[in-house]
Amino acid sequence: MFTFIFWLAVVVTLGVLYICFVPTGKSPITGLWSTLPNRQEYMRAHPAEVTPNGRPQCFHCHSPETLDVGLARFTDFRRTIICSKCKRQLWREQD
């Protein structure tokens, strides 16, 4: 009886860990991130917001300063580029 309970606890624990830590790609956060344009698409969609040196700027407040933030955590390989002034999401990148 003890062996059965022990293995049941192990299986349940592994199942919970799998559900919590294995990404499935179906997260609402990932879904929203994937709808953002990449840098080239952003620059094609907003050609007036490209500076003379080729850097894109915010289409909303026209600030050239951006922040590079991780999607789910600081070290996430999926990056969102946001405007440092108005905090609007501009485009996505993937390391």
pLDDT of residue 16: 81
**Residue 39 placed within a domain:** yes
Helix (H) or strand (E) holding 37: none
**Residue 18 placed within a domain:** no
pLDDT of residue 72: 82
Domain count, the chain: 1
Which residue segment(s) compose the domain that 34 sits in? 27-94
Rounded distance between C-alpha atoms, residue 78 and residue 84, angstroms: 18
**Residue 7 placed within a domain:** no
Which alpha helices (H) appear in the chain, and where do they start and end?
A: 2-21, 28-35, 39-45
| CB count in 10 Å sphere of residue 8 | 10
pLDDT digits (tens, 9 = 90+) for 28-79: 667 788 899 999 999 999 999 999 999 999 999 999 999 999 988 888 889 9
**Residue 55 placed within a domain:** yes
Q: Confidence class of residue 11 from pLDDT cuts 50, 70 and 90?
A: very high
46 or 15: whose pLDDT is higher?
A: 46
**Residue 20 placed within a domain:** no
Q: Which residues contact 60 (CB under 8 A, 6 or more apart)?
A: 83, 86, 88
